[in-house]
């Protein structure tokens, strides 16, 4: 779901705020106590009425937060941002409607079947329902570019936490007013899935970076000093390095601070471990790993450098996963891979990208998953259904070096033994037997690796190698 910009997980970056160097700090009272820690304070009963009261107070403070966010971000608001308190049930209904637009039932079934066939899901699932569950776990607040408004959903008993959420969503409003988020992340097929994920890293990373600055705004003064930047980089780098299990635990811990919670939202958060990584990881990573993208862009060109990421967006998750090597000082652009159409009915086709390949290797417990997916240079996949009902997956990839291609091919072959235990192995040329029929064929040709998953013989692989084009 591309056009919903939420803030829950990102708050953890502010709960563990980077220490401000003494020379940058203002009065001693600013850091005298941890304003996030309310455990020692007596708490009144949390009721719907008290939540409405806190929400009204929080939204009433938005007018004072707006100019500070604008100053920190180096942009101005061209119009007022409407704000609303939304009940959890209304939020879930909104999410369900938006996901239904992008994933109607037939597409949800086809995409789920395709991803399961290729091994990115352990088994077919109700993908639309899982997408809804994943978005629900981030239900603190969100900005809707269609409504041009910011909605508060969950109301913690902590004014700083509420105001920091507001800062995050107001940053999204600034982005929308200056760069049009609806066009930047189109809900149609205007850009491939990997590029869309990279753009989400920019949007959420930018808002998280501003939110970090807002959490420090009382002590950093009117400028972001080199010492503050260095401290931020240390903290953001640590967050960006967190694995999916740590990110999930952080999100659960953060959500626990919200007090009284709608039962369905709590159920989604408690069941976060059941959400497939192929859905959840891109969402969670966009905050923490995205903030490293925004910070790196700022270091290279200040706020104009961050703005440039909207005018010339990153084209792949490879670029945003390695901003200091693949995005700066010069971008490493992905190759465009085009697969020839076949006579079979196509279920789906798209670009996987480095992040999804890393998720794939982690799903099947392959050691060195990150190394096996690094060096990615481009890919394209398609999954088709034969007249007899069998699915055939076709994947063409290109890598930076022949060594990267060989490392990927070796890891992929190793994954097949995990995906199909007891099916036996054979030389790649003969294919790897699938327990439900068909074989998996792989061929390496220099920096390129070709895979056909589910065919009867190597003829389908020959055709894939012969007809695929790389630009």
- C-alpha 71/C-alpha 172 separation (Å) is 14
Residues linked to residue 379 through DSSP beta bridges, in sequence order: 397
Tokens read off for 231? 């401290």
Comparing 19-28, 162-171, 432-441, the range with the smallest average pLDDT is 19-28
**Which pTM does this prediction carry?**
0.90
The two beta strands, 141-144 and 5-6, are antiparallel
Q: What is the pLDDT of residues 48-80, one digit of tens each?
A: 888 899 999 999 999 999 999 999 999 999 999
Instruction: Kindly tell me if the per-residue pLDDT of 38 is higher than 50.
Output: no
Residues linked to residue 383 through DSSP beta bridges, in sequence order: 348, 393
Spell out the SS3 assignment of 390-410.
CEEEEEEEEECCHHHHHHHHH
Mean pLDDT of 330-347: 96
Instruction: Kindly tell me if the per-residue pLDDT of 285 is higher than 70.
Output: yes
**Cα three-residue angle 81-154-150, rounded to 5 degrees:** 15
Mean pLDDT of 363-371: 92
**Cα three-residue angle 361-288-87, rounded to 5 degrees:** 105
Residues in the chain: 471
Q: What is the pLDDT of residues 213-228, one digit of tens each?
A: 998 877 776 678 888 8
Spell out the SS3 assignment of 298-325.
HHHHHHHHHHHHHHCCCCCHHHHHCHHH
pLDDT band at 284 (very low <50, low <70, confident <90, very high): confident
Amino acid 4: pLDDT: 63
Beta strand extents in 64-199 (DSSP E only): 83-85, 141-144, 149-152
In whole angstroms, how far apart are CA 221 and each of 24, 32, 33, 417?
A: 8, 17, 19, 57
pLDDT band at 259 (very low <50, low <70, confident <90, very high): low
Q: What is the pLDDT of residues 76-122, one digit of tens each?
A: 999 999 999 998 888 888 999 989 988 999 999 999 999 999 999 99
By the 8 A CB rule, do 209 and 175 touch? no
Instruction: Kindly tell me if the per-residue pLDDT of 263 is higher than 70.
Output: no
- C-alpha 167/C-alpha 143 separation (Å) is 11
Tokens read off for 48? 């719907």
DSSP 327-376: ISSS--PPPPEEPPP-SSEEEEEE--HHHHHHHHHHHTT-TTHHHHHTTE
**Longest CA–CA separation in the chain, Å:** 74
Amino acid 265: pLDDT: 59
Across the chain, mean pLDDT equals: 87
Instruction: Kindly tell me if the per-residue pLDDT of 353 is higher than 60.
Output: yes
- C-alpha 72/C-alpha 59 separation (Å) is 20
Strands of the 391-399 sheet, one edge to the other: 345-350, 376-385, 391-399, 448-455, 439-445, 432-433
- C-alpha 394/C-alpha 464 separation (Å) is 7
Mean pLDDT of 10-22: 52
Residue 137 burial by Cβ neighbours in a 10 Å radius (0-12, 13-18, 19+): buried
Across 1-5, 45-49, 386-390, the highest mean pLDDT is recorded for: 386-390
pLDDT band at 132 (very low <50, low <70, confident <90, very high): confident
Q: Report the run of H or E that residue 450 belongs to, with start and end.
A: strand 448-455
Amino acid 33: pLDDT: 41
């Amino acid at each position: 779901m591309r056009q919903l910009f939420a803030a829950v997980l990102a708050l953890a970056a502010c709960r563990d705020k980077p220490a401000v160097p003494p020379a940058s700090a203002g009065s001693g009272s600013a850091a005298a106590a941890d304003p996030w820690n309310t455990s020692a304070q007596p708490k009144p009963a949390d009721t719907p009425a008290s939540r409405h009261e806190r929400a009204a107070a929080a939204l009433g403070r938005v007018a004072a937060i707006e100019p500070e966010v604008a100053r920190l971000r180096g942009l101005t608001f061209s119009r007022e941002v409407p704000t609303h308190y939304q009940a959890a049930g209304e939020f879930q209904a909104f999410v369900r409607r938006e996901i239904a637009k992008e994933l109607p039932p037939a597409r949800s079934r086809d995409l789920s079947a395709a991803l399961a066939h290729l091994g990115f899901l352990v088994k077919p699932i109700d993908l639309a329902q899982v997408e809804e569950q994943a978005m629900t776990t981030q239900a603190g607040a969100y900005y809707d570019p269609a409504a041009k408004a910011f909605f508060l959903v969950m109301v913690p008993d902590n004014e700083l936490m509420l105001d920091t959420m507001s800062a995050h969503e107001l940053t999204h409003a600034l982005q929308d007013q200056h760069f049009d988020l609806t066009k930047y992340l189109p809900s149609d097929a205007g850009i491939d899935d990997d590029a869309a994920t990279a753009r989400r890293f920019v949007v959420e990373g930018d808002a998280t970076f501003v939110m970090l600055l807002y959490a420090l705004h009382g002590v950093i003064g009117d400028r972001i000093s080199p010492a503050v930047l260095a401290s931020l980089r240390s903290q953001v780098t640590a967050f960006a390095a967190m694995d999916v299990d740590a990110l999930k635990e952080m999100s659960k811990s953060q959500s626990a601070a919200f007090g009284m919670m709608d039962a369905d939202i709590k159920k989604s958060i408690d069941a976060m471990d059941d959400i497939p990584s192929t859905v959840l990881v891109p969402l969670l990573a966009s905050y923490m790993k995205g903030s490293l993208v925004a910070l790196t862009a700022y270091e290279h060109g200040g706020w104009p450098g961050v703005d440039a990421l909207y005018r010339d967006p990153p084209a792949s998750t490879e670029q945003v996963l390695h901003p200091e090597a693949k995005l700066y000082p010069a971008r490493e652009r992905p190759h465009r891979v085009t697969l020839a159409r076949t006579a079979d009915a196509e279920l789906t086709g798209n670009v996987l990208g480095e992040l999804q390949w890393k998720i794939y290797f982690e799903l099947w417990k392959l050691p060195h998953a990150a190394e096996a997916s690094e060096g990615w240079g481009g890919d394209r996949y398609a999954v088709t259904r034969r007249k007899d009902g069998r699915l055939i997956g076709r994947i063409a990839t290109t890598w930076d070096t022949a060594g990267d291609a060989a490392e990927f091919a070796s890891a992929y072959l190793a994954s097949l033994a995990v995906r199909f235990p007891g099916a036996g192995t054979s030389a790649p040329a003969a294919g790897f037997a699938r327990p439900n029929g068909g074989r998996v064929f792989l061929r390496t040709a220099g920096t390129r690796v070709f895979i056909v998953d589910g065919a009867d013989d190597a003829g389908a692989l020959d055709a894939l190698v012969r007809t695929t084009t790389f630009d």
